[in-house]
């Protein structure tokens, strides 16, 4: 097959990006031989039927245009070899990524994987055609929301699309290795499709090539042996982003993220408004040890059950947390200014500031706020005490949380539930279950709200206490007349899936 060398005419260079033109009319054809005959023969592009429109996206080494190919919309990705070579990006790397994509993508046929159309390899450029997704990437979609509320149903739908696509990809023996919102596309029906297989590998033949630090599993960062569970870790970060509305580790450079994850085992703080079942799923997906992360087939089953639950529950919005990280910092600054003016905070203000400290995981400032609480005598307020317990629990200081509980004279369901949840969050699931049972036996605690059972079921979920979890779940209705909602159903489902 003849070699196709491409040189843009000056008239094409001067065209506006919004215009369209036949690609062949902008190219001069030379002679020679293509070094990827197999690719061009099997997946060759008929350039006489390809029209190029505006550039709508750009990758690290590529530009992506909206095109028309054989009267169908297409995404046209160009990788300019010489241009990248001048920037210090070796041709061998670009060629390897191109060959990976055209090796893996054509054999993938799934509604949640972008459809491959064709490819061409030339001396000066590489070209890949895939189906065009008019909504762009998931990153673009999330940015366009501009902090608008996103429904729980939509979060679950998005998570299901990604999980189903990844379940299929793993079943084909392929590891994506760069799963992130930029590499997930949104079609006209708001359905997600996984794209960009430039660094994907066969599970049995993975090399040292790696993805993006911000979504990268710790074992991959450390250069250790890894498998398909690196994609599960990345999925956990995407699910966190869907819930939180912010980019993971915002404000940190890629290298800082790598150090935080690999050396300190750091993870983003899960917003308190996140449903417990999604919080539990996120935590399991980004577990340090890959063998503790679920398979995508398990994730799909859990999400499908949640999706069914959403169909008969009232619509629930996952609004941006009222105390986003920046607002938390602003709240602390205002509190310091308030104290400087010798103004006395109300109990409500103290709760808000303690929640801010909890979200920022700043126990030092939290202890300073606690000193104000004690000075004002506000520790007697159960909601302030509950906020203190929650802050210390999320900060990993369960002993200090227990001290707050012990020093509160009048304990009620709010405090007991906070303490049970605190144990569950700090790895003390056995202590949480023991405390719950002890309180029931002594009749010091009547679980009269669903959140009480969410706390103990979360503990059972983390510890794998399936029998106990089923017992508590059944007691909700039989003993206390409560109707389980999506959080309790999901905890039970996830426990059962973990047993598989």
Helix, strand, coil % in the chain, rounded to nearest 5:
55, 10, 35
**List of residues 6+ apart from 117 with CB closer than 8 A:** 69, 74, 129, 130, 131
132: left (phi over 0), alpha (psi -120 to 50) or beta: beta
Distance from C-alpha of 104 to C-alpha of 170, rounded to nearest angstrom: 12
How large is the C-alpha radius of gyration of the chain? Answer: 27
406 is catalytic: no
**What CA–CA distance (Å, rounded) separates 54 from 47?**
17
φ, ψ of residue 317 to 5 degrees: the values are -95, 140
Query: Which residue's entry shows tokens 């090539």?
Result: 209
SS3 state at 57: strand
Q: What is the rounded distance in angstroms from the CA atom of residue 262 to the CA atom of residue 258?
A: 6
Torsion of CA 365, 370, 371, 373, to 10 degrees: 140
Q: Cβ(382)–Cβ(410) under 8 Å?
A: yes
How far apart are the C-alpha atoms of 396 and 405, rounded to whole Å?
A: 16
Cα 271 to Cα 244: distance, rounded to the nearest angstrom:
6
Q: Which of 178, 196, 231, 390 is catalytic?
A: 178
12: which residues sit within 8 A by CB, 6+ positions away? 21, 25, 26
Helices (H) and strands (E) in the chain, counts: 21, 12
Q: What positions carry a catalytic annotation?
A: 178
């Amino acid at each position: 097959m003849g070699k196709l060398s491409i040189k843009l005419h000056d008239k094409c260079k001067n065209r506006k990006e919004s215009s369209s033109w036949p690609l062949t009319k902008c190219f001069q054809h030379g002679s020679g031989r293509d070094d990827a005959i197999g690719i061009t023969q099997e997946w060759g592009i008929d350039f006489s039927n390809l029209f190029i429109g505006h550039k709508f996206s750009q990758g690290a080494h590529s530009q992506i245009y909206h095109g028309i190919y054989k009267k169908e919309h297409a995404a046209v990705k160009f990788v300019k070899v010489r241009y990248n070579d001048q920037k210090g990006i070796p041709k061998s790397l670009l060629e390897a990524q191109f060959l990976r994509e055209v090796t893996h993508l054509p054999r993938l046929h799934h509604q949640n994987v972008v459809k491959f159309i064709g490819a061409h390899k030339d001396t000066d450029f590489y070209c890949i055609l895939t189906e065009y997704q008019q909504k762009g990437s998931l990153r673009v979609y999330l940015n366009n929301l501009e902090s608008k509320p996103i429904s729980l149903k939509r979060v679950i739908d998005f998570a299901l699309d990604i999980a189903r696509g990844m379940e299929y990809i793993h079943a084909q023996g392929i590891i994506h290795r760069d799963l992130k919102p930029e590499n997930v596309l949104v079609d006209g029906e708001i359905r997600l499709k996984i794209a960009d297989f430039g660094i994907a590998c066969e599970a049995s033949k993975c090399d040292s090539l790696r993805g993006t630090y911000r979504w990268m599993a710790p074992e991959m960062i450390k250069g250790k042996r890894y498998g398909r569970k690196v994609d599960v870790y990345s999925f956990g970060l995407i699910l966190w982003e869907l819930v939180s509305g912010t980019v993971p580790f915002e404000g940190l450079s890629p290298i800082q993220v790598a150090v935080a994850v690999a050396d300190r085992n750091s993870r983003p703080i899960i917003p308190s408004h996140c449903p417990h079942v999604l919080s539990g799923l996120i935590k399991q997906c980004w577990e340090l040890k890959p063998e503790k992360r679920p398979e995508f087939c398990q994730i799909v089953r859990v999400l499908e059950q949640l999706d069914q639950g959403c169909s008969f529950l009232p619509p629930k919005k996952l609004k941006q947390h009222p105390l986003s990280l920046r607002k938390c910092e602003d709240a602390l600054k205002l509190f310091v200014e308030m104290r400087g003016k010798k103004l006395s905070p109300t109990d409500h203000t103290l709760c808000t500031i303690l929640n801010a400290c909890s979200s920022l995981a700043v126990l030092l400032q939290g202890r300073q706020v606690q000193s104000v609480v004690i000075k004002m005598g506000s520790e007697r307020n159960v909601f302030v005490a509950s906020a203190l317990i929650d802050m210390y629990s999320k900060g990993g200081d369960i002993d200090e949380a227990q001290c707050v509980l012990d020093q509160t004279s009048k304990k009620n369901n709010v405090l007991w539930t906070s303490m049970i949840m605190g144990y569950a969050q700090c790895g003390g699931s056995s202590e949480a279950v023991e405390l719950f049972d002890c309180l029931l036996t002594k009749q010091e605690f009547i679980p009269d709200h669903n959140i009480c059972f969410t706390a103990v079921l979360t503990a059972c979920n983390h510890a794998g206490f399936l029998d106990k979890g089923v017992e508590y779940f059944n007691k909700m209705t039989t003993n206390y007349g409560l109707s389980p909602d999506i959080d309790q159903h999901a905890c039970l489902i996830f426990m059962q899936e973990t047993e598989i």
